[in-house]
Chains A and B, each alone.
Chain A
């Protein structure tokens, strides 16, 4: 069994949004690579799962896409964050932080609530 964690849908969307915010317009392959690198290869990303997730975000209006040319002159579809996507990213990031903070309190031993 691999010790890499699987990526689940909700967090994948958040990672995609954050990636696009940080790096600006990017193609699917670039997003996938970036996610792998950022997680320091702790995540086993099945690249195939990325495309339905991108489609979903596009259908929801958080990202938009257009065809362009990559750095090494390959035709590729580039995704960029929309204004709604930026807002959604802020919101989800906040929620995620709150969730992890709560979980962290549960998991940290010895510290009783005052």
Chain B
């Protein structure tokens, strides 16, 4: 502890040097006086006495120096000196300092901003107990190349009972159901969960209890989420024991989950116990398991694949080709955005590299002009290490200033960026993007590494030759020297990286534009839609449903400003996947265990006309296709091509199994144009459309679409009221214009194109500034040479060509390397956005053009300056 006290005192001693120096001077003077007094008493002359006293002391200056070393920490003292000196030097060159700091701040800012988003979404632990041990297990199906499929209840039980790798395993499924509290019915998002689920993830209800029995028959109890409880029960503990109606059946509230609890990132409203479901073909469950201690993910994978192979042998009908896909919980939750985030993170990493190259190049240039100063300091006895340290301190000061500035930039942009995309990307964590300790640490580390990176090479480069030579050389004017090889290399590398980023951004932009220009197959203008959630028990009967459809359509059509209205179950571009298996009368099934597959949709009379979807042959669904009339189907062109190639599908019949006993036979009456069902980037799939008045498929979500005379948004309120007056028990989960549906479907490609494009532009600007700096430097070094050339009769254009030529030469080298890098890099974008075409020649050509143009501009400005050199002035400078 004594030594700690001493270190702290010494640290403090490093400040207030003047006062301390006065103190020691006074003490030594008093020492000498006492000594002199003694000597004089002993008979010496005062002069002699003084000389002897000083000798005995070992010199005043030397003692003071030793005393100082002991008073402060010598290393710290030197650091303080370096810092003071660095700040002074940097302040004397505001142009250089500002350029370096801003360049670096942009690089750091971009990195810290993206990192705070990555940190919030990918790195911060999930609100579950020991989440690193949690693994999501999806079913895979080789034939349909599914990687994230659900598993059936019996298969889940098999996994659960036969595995040796998991402490415990639970399953859940999403369900959106009408949930009634008091007089109000809302469309609620919920999950059915196995009773042990809360134990497996290690989170218990904040108040009340979880589900008791394991594997109980679907009991009428419910656990609410914190959010739902606060919205509908005002956060009152009295909610426990009250009932809510889920799908019209009363359920008792037994518990409320803690706030911030979410299972896989959905904002759930409620949790219900999962009932037993014996159907092996109904893969609807997601599985989450807690790994045993010491069991690796690999071992668990092997374990489960043994089980799935066994199940394949036992139940070839339902389990052929079905495997298991194990994904750490955190990755599974952020699956959709993980790759995008990592891509953007590497892009900003490249931007930072370019920024560093720029600053390094600036430092090299400045180092060259400081040769004389450095040589002088070396000649005066500064050690090489001391000089390197001085130069590194200067880069550290730049890095620190840039880092702080960058952190501010990140602090403001990251949360704004996250807030802007939070609606489209419902990823857990995105709401909590902030500048926390991790972000600070990241910024600190990156700034320090970058500062060292761009500082160390220039620092050593400045000292590579011996001081006497540098002194001599610096006193001569540098003639005809080009920029040093290191700087040229840096600029080429910058250009290459900027080109690669531009190609990436350009490719995504092209993809986005192509997607936006893709005809969706329908006309989205003047349409508004409302997603409804039918309470199933009373809507199981076709009569009830038909009654509601008719009433709702009648009221919607009667609204002022509504031209037409229709029901549909799968609106285009809604990313849902309702395929059913069916048989075709007169055609053998493709395999003994499965029939044909198509998307099954429901659309009421006039839907296709209203949507502007063309009718190719036959007719669309009409009012006469009511209950009791012959069951009809309308198919899309993709279905016609797939199931009746080369023949007319009109009048053909298909058989759709409804459940184990019943099936429905439908007659094809028309073929309509294809629409993009899932997204603009995915080709239309075969689709079979049935009238809602005849459909016996059970589904509880349906959409009402209305065509309006004026702006569709204006109808939001009246459409809601119309549905409510048709049946107050049917809640509306979402109302939106169909135009919004279309633009939301490309929000991801647009976001990636925007982000990548913006960062690529930043890279272009940085690289151009780097090139400009280099050429300008080279011009300043060659003033004398240009002066001689002009004096000997060179035209201005010759000089300009000479300078611009140098810039273009460097740019060309960068473009050449960059194109090779870009070919490899764009391939990485393929998985990011659907429809990316790597090696798109238009993008490559356009980007090369942009870059060369930027290089021309960057070298034109110094070239003009070179051309205007007055030979008399240039030569007189000698």
Contacts and interface: CB of A to CB of B under 8 A. Distances in A.
Interface of A: 27-30, 33, 46-49, 51-52, 55-56, 59-61, 70, 72, 74-77, 84
A56 B66 contact: no
Contact of A72 (B24, B27, B37): B37
A61 B5 contact: yes
A59 B69 CA distance: 13
A108 to B, nearest CB: 35
B5 A60 contact: yes
B30 A48 contact: no
**Central interface residue in A27, A33, A55, A75, by most chain B CB within 10 Å:** A55
B57 interface: yes
Contacts of A70: 30, 34
9 nearest A-B pairs in the assembled complex, by CB-CB distance = A48-B58, A48-B63, A52-B70, A29-B34, A59-B6, A47-B57, A76-B30, A46-B58, A59-B9
A12 to B, nearest CB: 13
9 contacts: A29-B30, A29-B35, A47-B63, A48-B57, A51-B27, A52-B67, A55-B71, A59-B5, A77-B26
Contacts of B58: 46-49
Interface of B: 2-3, 5-6, 9-10, 24, 26-28, 30-31, 33-35, 37-38, 56-59, 62-63, 66-67, 69-71
B5 to A, nearest CB: 6
Contacts of B70: 52, 55-56, 59
B622 to A, nearest CB: 99
Nearest to B12: A59
B63 A77 contact: no
A56 B34 contact: no
A60 B2 contact: yes
A4 to B, nearest CB: 13
Nearest to B33: A74
A89 to B, nearest CB: 14
A51 B26 CA distance: 12
**Central interface residue in A30, A47, A74, A75, by most chain B CB within 10 Å:** A47
Given A47-B31, A74-B30, A60 B69 contact: no
Nearest to A52: B70
A56 B2 CA distance: 11
A90 to B, nearest CB: 15
Nearest to A76: B30
Nearest to B28: A51
Given A48-B62, A55-B67, A77 B6 contact: no
A27 B67 contact: no
A19 to B, nearest CB: 15
A76 B32 CA distance: 10
A75 B25 CA distance: 13
A65 B70 CA distance: 16
Contacts of A29: 30-31, 34-35
Nearest to A30: B34
Given A48-B63, A52-B67, 14 more contacts: A29-B34, A47-B57, A48-B59, A48-B62, A49-B58, A49-B66, A51-B63, A51-B67, A55-B67, A59-B6, A61-B2, A74-B33, A76-B30, A77-B27
Contacts of B35: 29, 47
A46 B62 CA distance: 12
Contacts of B71: 55
Contacts of A84: 2
Given A60-B6, A61-B5, A48 B34 contact: no
A59 B6 CA distance: 5
Nearest to A28: B31
B49 to A, nearest CB: 13
Given A48-B58, A55-B71, A76-B34, A28 B27 contact: yes
B211 to A, nearest CB: 66
B37 A60 contact: no
A52 B37 contact: no
B69 to A, nearest CB: 7
Contacts of A76: 27, 30-31, 34
A52 B64 CA distance: 9
Nearest to A88: B2
Contact of B6 (A27, A33, A48, A56): A56
Contact of A59 (B10, B26, B30, B66): B10
A54 to B, nearest CB: 9
Contacts of B67: 51-52, 55
A50 to B, nearest CB: 9
A49 B62 CA distance: 10
Contacts of A74: 30, 33-34, 37
Nearest to B35: A29
A33 B42 CA distance: 15
A51 B24 CA distance: 9
Contacts of B26: 75, 77
A52 to B, nearest CB: 4
Given A48-B59, A48-B63, A27 B9 contact: no
Contacts of B3: 60
Contacts of B33: 74
A51 B25 CA distance: 11
Contacts of B27: 28, 51, 76-77
A49 B28 CA distance: 12
B30 A75 contact: yes
A30 to B, nearest CB: 8
Nearest to A56: B70
Nearest to B10: A59
Contacts of B24: 51
A46 B53 CA distance: 11
**Central interface residue in B9, B26, B56, B69, by most chain A CB within 10 Å:** B56
Contacts of A75: 26, 30
Contacts of B38: 33
A84 B63 CA distance: 27
Contacts of B37: 72, 74
A49 B30 CA distance: 16
A59 B38 CA distance: 30
B56 A77 contact: no
**Central interface residue in B24, B34, B59, B70, by most chain A CB within 10 Å:** B34
A49 B71 CA distance: 13
Nearest to B24: A51
Contact of A52 (B6, B57, B59, B66): B66
Nearest to B2: A60
A97 B211 CA distance: 77
A61 to B, nearest CB: 6
Given A74-B34, A75-B30, A77-B30, A48 B66 contact: yes
Contacts of A51: 24, 27-28, 31, 63, 66-67
B2 A27 contact: no
A74 B24 CA distance: 16
Contacts of B34: 27, 29-30, 70, 72, 74, 76
Contacts of A27: 30-31, 34
A55 B68 CA distance: 10
A74 to B, nearest CB: 5
A36 B786 CA distance: 75
Contacts of B5: 59-61
B60 to A, nearest CB: 8
A74 B687 CA distance: 109
**Central interface residue in A33, A59, A61, A75, by most chain B CB within 10 Å:** A59
Nearest to B34: A29
Nearest to A84: B2
A55 B62 CA distance: 16
A29 B57 CA distance: 10
Contacts of A77: 26-27, 30
A60 B70 CA distance: 12
Contacts of A72: 34, 37
**Central interface residue in B5, B24, B31, B63, by most chain A CB within 10 Å:** B31
A46 to B, nearest CB: 5
Contacts of B10: 59
A59 B34 CA distance: 25
Nearest to B5: A61
